[in-house]
Amino acid sequence: MRPTQRSVRGFALAAVISNAIIICTGEAVRLSSSGLGCPDWPQCTKTSVVAAHSVGQTSLNTAIEFTNRLLNFPLVAFAALAFIACWQYRSGGQRRRDLVWLSASLPLGIVAQAVVGGIVVLTKLNPAMVAVHFLLSSAILAAAVTLYVRAGEGGGPARGLVRMDLRVLTGLLVAVTALMLAAGTVVTGTGPLAGTTIDSHGHHTTVPRFHFNLENVTQLHADIGWFIGALAVAVVIGLRFSSAPRQAVRFGWLVLIGLGLQGIIGYVQYFNHLPAGLVWVHVSTSVLLWIFVIRLYLSTRERIPLPVEQAEETAATPAPAPAT
């Protein structure tokens, strides 16, 4: 109940890892057409809380979907521990409000995810709700990564470590990467891997999907990827030939290499008619790329500790009396 800075960062890192894993396993659910392996919510079926046979679904489908649901328990545990640790943590004798708010977004986001996940199942894998489910997970992951970084910094004002133009470019890189993730959900919801159901006679039925032209939305997704690549090249060159910290340069290169791999995997999967395994690799590496992009942006600035006098003054300020 008296967490240190190191333990707070440890819980935040656990939240980052658990959120990244749940995104990857969630995508495995969709790509294996296991989204209705547990056709009810919050129970697996109307008569069973645990994994049970469902009409029209294989045992593997049920196992994949139920495993993904079970992974929510450690996810919730780490989110709760991170929040408790940030609430109890005192830096310079005062509570870090920025850490409290960031950590609070983790359990609140998971509650929202549970609701959206239930809607996904009850609407029989509506592609719009599946997209919201994925993007909300990405937002929670971003909050966890930010919490991990901020927990290792002071509670004072932010100070830039690179030129302003480079900070703007890295911020733009975050925004455009988020747009690319959103475009990716549209591609998946339009293509053949949006999901299928199997009835008791073994007949496959496709779930609802977006009525877009697959070639057009794929091209849009690729165009955004090329734009991100150009941004990343500009950022790496700017960081390399300036007085940027080594950490920023390192994450710049990781982003650039990650984008290159993403591009290769993306084109290979498209010209091979979207094999599910390769699509899963594409999505999983996009999760890593998302983490690297956020870390790159956060590495271009730092937050310094508050002056001792200000910290003591803030800690000594009595809390306002509750309204009567």
Give the per-residue pLDDT at 32.
75
Q: What pLDDT is recorded for position 49?
A: 64
CA distance 69 to 44: 9
Report helix, strand or coil for 205. Answer: strand
Mean pLDDT in order along the chain per 10 residues (324 residues): 88 95 85 70 68 64 79 91 93 85 94 88 83 92 95 84 93 96 89 59 63 88 93 94 91 95 90 85 93 96 67 47 46
Coil, strand or helix: which one is 199? coil
pLDDT at 316: 46
34-57 burial, b for 16+ CB within 10 Å, e for fewer?
Answer: bbbbbbbeeebbeeeeebbebebb
Please count the other Cβ atoms lying within 10 Å of the Cβ belonging to residue 319. Answer: 5
| Residue 324 confidence (pLDDT) | 40
Region for residue 124 given its phi and psi (left: phi exceeds 0; alpha: psi -120 to 50; beta: otherwise): left
d(CA 86, CA 84): 5
CB 25 within 8 A of CB 67: yes
Closest CA to 15 of 73, 75, 87: 75
How does strand 204-206 pair with strand 196-198?
antiparallel
Sequence letter at residue 27? E
Torsion of CA 108, 113, 119, 122, to 10 degrees: -120
Side-chain half-sphere of 199: how many Cα atoms within 13 Å? 6
